[in-house]
Structure 1
Amino acid sequence: MTLITDPQEAAAFCARQAEAEFITVDTEFIRDTTYWPRLCLIQIAGPEEAAAIDPLAEGMDLEPVWSLFDKTDLLKVFHAARQDLEIFFHDSSRLPHPVFDTQVAAMVCGFGDQVGYEKLASRLAGARIDKSVRFADWAHRPLGRKQLDYALADVTHLRVIYQKLRKKLANSDRESWLEEEMAVLLNPATYRLEPSEAWRRLKSRSRDRRYLAHLRNLAAWREREAQRRNVPRNRILRDEQIYDVAGLAPQTAEDLARARGVSTDYARGKVGQAILEAVAEGLAMDEADLPKAPPREQQVEAGPVVDLLKVLLKQKCEQHGVAQRLLANAADLEALAAGDPETERNLLQGWRGEIFGKAASALLTGRLLLTGDGNGGLQLIDKKENNEP
């Protein structure tokens, strides 16, 4: 097992892997005290060798790694790639291509929702993963032998997992399904964190559009400030404080100091002034420009329809041996039942449309019936195919 701390050795290792058909990749990182993940280790395995490259080593140059990832004739294999790709996109401003995600492939092949690496390693590679150092401090040096063994196991067994999943996909003629999912995963927009959209992660039941404007402006300011200072967003302002400030809509430092956890000194300081400016922006907005709340009434009325869609989703996933979470989640079903056009388009496209989307549309329009089959199971009846009115 190899730890590379010398930039020339890293470049030589990457050059050797450049001629391979595929490489397997994983990372170790920490983000407890930062906004952006701090990359601590990059593990790469080719057909003949595996190594962990230390980005924190003095003088380390990661350009040979990024260049290796740029090779379009070299497949990069990950398990649960999204966080790794987010790190690479932030650190290098580019994404590896092409990519194969074994977690997504396993879901396509019917291994269940978000199947873990340990489970796949056991079932497909006959390997047992020692996870006792999973939550170690990966920024601390020197790294222990047990840490390196664990880190490299994440790419060495991945070679076997990839080869077996690739064969399963080919045998089931589902390779195009995975390609559709990889296209989303490799879209740079997936990793661009837009401050103006940060408010959508907050959970508020308020229908007041002015309140929602304050919520949006405060969340955007917090996001920009957290990115600028590279600290977790709750270090700037906690969610509950954003709710409180949005409700109070303070116009002076004295008003702001009434919000929970906000001291008078804080309210009068530079950060307090920025918060007041964000609120003032919301107060000055025209009614027509205020954000709109989702149509709650539709969602409530759609409850029984959502239940029917859940039954249909379960039936279709069992029939085709694919993970439910890959097809649609609860929010997708609620939006579909409420008539959201974007959700309808997404679920009617590609393999999702063939497996579930078209059937769901037929169910919602009354053309498809769900009934018992007389043996404790369910059957689907298409009224059009059976010439029913």
Structure 2
Amino acid sequence: MNLITTTADLAAACDRLAAADYVTVDTEFMRETTFWPKLCLIQMAGPDEAVIVDPVAGGDALDLTPFFALMGNANVIKVFHAARQDIEIVFHLGGLVPHPVFDTQVAAMVCGFGDSISYDQLVQRITGDKIDKSHRFTDWARRPLSEHQLAYALADVTHLREVYAYLDRALAEQGRSEWVQEEMATLTSPDTYRLEPELAWTRLKMRVRQPRDLAVLRAIAAWREREAQSRDVPRGRVLKDDALYEIAAQKPKDEAALARLRTIPRGFERSKSGRDILATVATAADSPKETWPEPPKARQAPEGANAASELLKVLLKQVAEANGVAAKVIATSDDLERIAAGDDDEVAALSGWRRELFGEQALALKEGRLALTFDGRKVVTLESDEPYALAPKSQRRPRRRRAKKGSNTEAAAGESGTGAETVD
């Protein structure tokens, strides 16, 4: 096993891997007690070799610059499975987003392997190999690591070579390579990984709705973000989300008022953080009205939108099954609700390959130019250039319903001597 703990060995390995068309990449990290992920291992594999980089054992003597240079090499495809957290680590430590990137989890969804399939399941379905997951909850920061732990870590990139080759070929055969490339645009955008404190409030649930309350929420969420980043602790270790909502709603003006809040830890009001919060609240509450954020507009669904949304769910399932694509990657529940309500601006399901696959049919269904019906046991679609329309009720053929034996209707018919069937 090629275990790297020096900068020279890392540089040599990265030079060799840079000559390949692709490199599979995975990381092991710890984050339970920190804001920033603590990088513990880097695993990489090209077509002909696989290496493990140990930044913990290497310590300050190991400079990761060669690794970051490889991640930024536009001539080498970086292959990950569920890449977001791995890319976040590279962005935080190296200041760059790997490019180009191929995420096998996204590709698997496009190729019909279901929603968010796990790595071990994907490996087993494609290669037939079963990965030993007994070290899934390893403390990767502890040294020394056993041979079994290192072998487990390395398997995350060696099997990934076969998975990548299979999915890349399948996408090309199905004409869907560009679909995955579209998905990689968001995954490789630096904006995805920037954690600007001033935007921290936008990631919270909007439990306060008044503009002044939102101004306070924005300010204290930014304070918490800066505190968590500078102290390298999880946000919840600074203040829980519920505390932010209560502070924004109550806007305490002194220590006594802050102490009365049920979500504030005992003694917090007397700490430096407590004083900082009070000052932040005061500044935000007294800020000019024109600087307050606008509350998010509540979408009022028009009459019939809920039923339309349910129909769109059926259509989505039909399209996903017919095309072998995971429904989750085609459209979200929010997409369906917005289409049903006529709020079509910037709906992901109505752009790019999603519009071609599903979006156009969704609009046609809503406009009455497409209908859903059963063919045997499957839901199928019927299309028309003109909207489907029901005949006026007076022109519909009556549906005959035979009276149940022994019912009051049958008894009444017998008494009248007509024996007539009821019609509705």
Q: Matched residues in 2 for 1:239 and 1:300: separation?
A: 35
| Alignment correspondent of 1:81 | 83
In structure 2, C-alpha distance between the alignment counterparts of 1:209 and 1:117, rounded to whole Å: 44
Asked whether the equivalents of residues 198 and 219 of structure 2 are also in contact (C-alpha less than 8 Å), the reply is: yes
Gaps of 5+ in 1: none
1:261 Cα deviation after fit: 4.7
1:138-149 alignment runs, 5 A limit = 138-149=140-151
SS at match of 1:293: coil
* Alpha carbons of structure 1 residues 206 and 262: separation in structure 2 relative to 1, 3 Å: closer
Q: Which residue of 1 aligns with 2:328?
A: 325
- What is the SS of the residue equivalent to 1:373? strand
**CA shift for structure 1 position 121:** 1.0
Give the alignment partner of residue 295 of structure 1, picking from 285, 295, 298: 298
Match of 2:218 among 212, 216, 220: 216
Deviation track 1:292-345 (CA, whole Å, cap 9, x = no partner) reads: 13315439974323212211211111111101111122233233334444433x
Q: Give secondary structure in 2 for the equivalent of 1:314.
A: helix
Q: For residue 371 of structure 1, what is the amino acid of its counterpart? A: L
Determine which structure has greater relative contact order: mean sequence separation of CA pairs < 8 Å that are 6+ residues apart, divided by chain length. 1
1:14-35 alpha-carbon deviations (Å, 9 max, x no partner): 1111111211110000111111
One-letter amino acid matched to 2:331: A
Distance 1:387 1:369, change over 3 A: closer
Task: Name the stretch that deviates more: 111-120 or 303-312.
Answer: 303-312
How far did residue 218 of structure 1 move? 1.9
Q: Which residue of 2 aligns with 1:66?
A: 68
Matched, 1:370 2:397: no
Query: What is the match of residue 53 of structure 1?
Result: 53
Are positions 1:335 and 2:344 aligned together? no
1:215 corresponds to which letter in structure 2? Answer: L
Aligned equivalents of 1:206 and 1:33: distance in 2?
29
Q: Which residue of 1 aligns with 2:260?
A: 258
Q: How many Å separate the matches in 1 of 2:233 and 2:266? A: 23
1:347–1:356 CA contact under 8 A, matched in 2: yes
CA contact (8 A) 1:254 1:264 kept: no
* Secondary structure in 1 matching 2:62: coil
Q: Which residue number in structure 2 is paired with residue 243 of structure 1?
A: 245
Q: Which amino acid aligns with 1:305?
A: A
Q: 1:94 corresponds to which residue?
A: 96
Q: Which of residues 152, 168, 176 is equivalent to 2:154?
A: 152
Query: 1:384: which partner in 2?
Result: 385
Instruction: Supply the AA of the counterpart residue of 1:154.
Output: D
> 1:374: how far off?
5.0
Task: Single out whichever of 292-301 and 151-160 deviates more from structure 2.
Answer: 292-301
2:51 and 2:278 map into 1 onto residues whose CA distance is 51
TM-score of the aligned structures, taking structure 2 as reference length: 0.85
Q: Answer yes or no: is the 8 Å Cα contact 1:367–1:382 preserved in 2.
A: no
Whole-Å Cα distance in 2 between the matches of residues 302 and 253 of structure 1? Answer: 48
**Inter-partner Cα distance in structure 2 for 1:337 and 1:275:** 42
Structure 2 distance, partners of 1:377, 1:9, is 58
Q: Which residue of 2 aligns with 1:25?
A: 25
> Kindly tell me: are residues 174 and 216 of structure 1, through their superposed partners in 2, closer, same or farther at Cα, counting changes over 3 Å?
same
Give the deviation of 1:203 after TM superposition.
2.7
1:166 maps to which residue?
A: 168
* Residue 318 of structure 2 corresponds to residue 315 of structure 1: yes
Question: 2-side partners of 1:88 and 1:300: how far apart?
Answer: 48
Gaps of 5+ in 2: 391-424
Q: Percent identity?
A: 49
Letter in 2 for 1:213: A
1:45 is displaced (CA, Å) by 0.6
1:5 and 1:53 in contact (8 A); partners too? yes
Distance of 1:76 and 1:322 partners within structure 2: 23
Q: Give, as a single letter, the amino acid of the residue that structure 2 aligns with 1:38.
A: K
DSSP-derived class of the 1:142 partner: coil
Match status 1:273 vs 2:275: yes
Q: In the superposition, relative to structure 1, how do residues 129 and 263 fare at CA in structure 2: closer, same or farther (>3 Å)?
A: closer
Give the C-alpha shift of residue 287 in structure 1.
Answer: 4.4
Q: After alignment, is 219-228 or 289-298 more displaced?
A: 289-298
Distance 1:214 1:300, change over 3 A: farther
Which amino acid in structure 2 is aligned with residue 163 of structure 1? A
**Number of residue pairs the alignment of both structures matches:** 387
User: Which residue of structure 2 aligns with residue 115 of structure 1?
Assistant: 117
2:38 alignment counterpart: 38
